[in-house]
Amino acid sequence: MSEDSEDFLDEELLDSNSIENIDIDEENKGLYEHLNITVDSKQEPLRIDKFLLIYRQNSSRNKISQTCRAGNVIVNGNAVKQNYRVKPGDQISVLLTHPPRENVIIPQDIPVNIIYEDDDLVVVDKEAGMVVHPGFGNWDGTLVNALAYHFEKNGEKSDLDRVGLVHRIDKDTSGLLVIAKNEYALSFLAKQFFNRTTKRLYWAFVWGNLQEDEGTIRGHIGRHPKNRMQMSVYEDGSQGKHAVTHYKVLERFKYMTWVECKLETGRTHQIRAHFRHVGHTLFNDERYEGHTPLRGVNLPKYKQFIKNVFEILPRHALHAHTLGFIHPTTKKELYFESPMPKDMADAVKKWRNYLEN
């Protein structure tokens, strides 16, 4: 009997006591799966790639192999190779990538602003209004559809069965995204986003005049108890998940403030929910009631002015400004900056002119 044929896994040992699914990154929920596994005391030695393949039967051998290669399989605190043999009592931590599979991706000839591309990845500066990936109500016309067409047109060969999303941003948020072209790049990049070692800054316009030049907003974020389309902040930690947003004021417009945000955690609508909680909702953020003029302002033609700005900037004012990460193959840092999009830049000009007159 060969060495491989002697490997076996008692599937009855794969119960709720030996594995815990941890959803840490709500912002990219569905793209990653974090597993914590305690190997059962009765488990015979078995190669870890086979062990994990039985745990996650919807994964491929190549995905497990590239997950190990990217350093995303940790046993007792150390990254292991795919031929490591699990032993009773081993503590295993795994970060698996799971690209969304809501439907079959149809390549579509849609303009997309690619600012960097190589054999492993592509960096896109997404326009506001474009959905990142297909889902309910948006089955086509997405960034994923556009990239599928781009790859097909260029004859790209990939070991992914679809575009490899590493992270995502809201439909009406503009800015930078990185997309992987192969399983190894997907796993390597996913680890950086999961561990928050990437360099990402957001620009936002928020209502009102923030008191401090710099600050931190803390508060658990969870679903709103009545409006399921919104997220709420729970300062007492009774609901939701831990969330921290750091901000710095870049320019003040008396009744609106331009801020730079750095996320310590990644929760759904984190910036939008946190700033609403402290009384400074994002400018023109309809979902969070930021689409009406600030009350109590006594300036000439103020309401008409705000209406004009809303027409210039017809979405919530949030932009993914920077993106930095370590390249999967070269291991060198890549860093990108996206300039302020035209709608936000035009809004800034209009505010400046309004306050000067």
DSSP structural state of residue 129: T
Q: State residue 200 phi and psi, 5-degree precision.
A: -130, 130
75 by DSSP, 3-state: which? strand
Answer yes or no: are the C-beta atoms of 209 and 270 closer than 8 Å.
no
Catalytic residue among 40, 90, 120, 170: 170
What residues pair up with 86 in beta bridges, in sequence order? Answer: 46
Angle at 191 between CA 185 and CA 196, to 5 degrees: 130
Residue 77 backbone dihedrals phi, psi, to 5 degrees: 90, 0
Burial (CB count <10 Å: 0-12, 13-18, 19+), residue 317: buried
Measure the CA–CA gap between 25 and 209, rounded to whole angstroms. 30
Amino acid at 323: L
Q: Is 15 in the active site?
A: no
Q: What's the rounded Cα separation, in Å, for the pair 220 and 218?
A: 7
| C-alpha distances in Å from residue 38, one per residue of 42, 50, 55, 92 | 12, 16, 12, 6
Please name the residue that has the structure tokens 């994990």: 52
Distance from C-alpha of 322 to C-alpha of 329, rounded to nearest angstrom: 21
Q: CB atoms < 10 A from the CB of 104, how many? A: 8
Catalytically annotated residues? 170
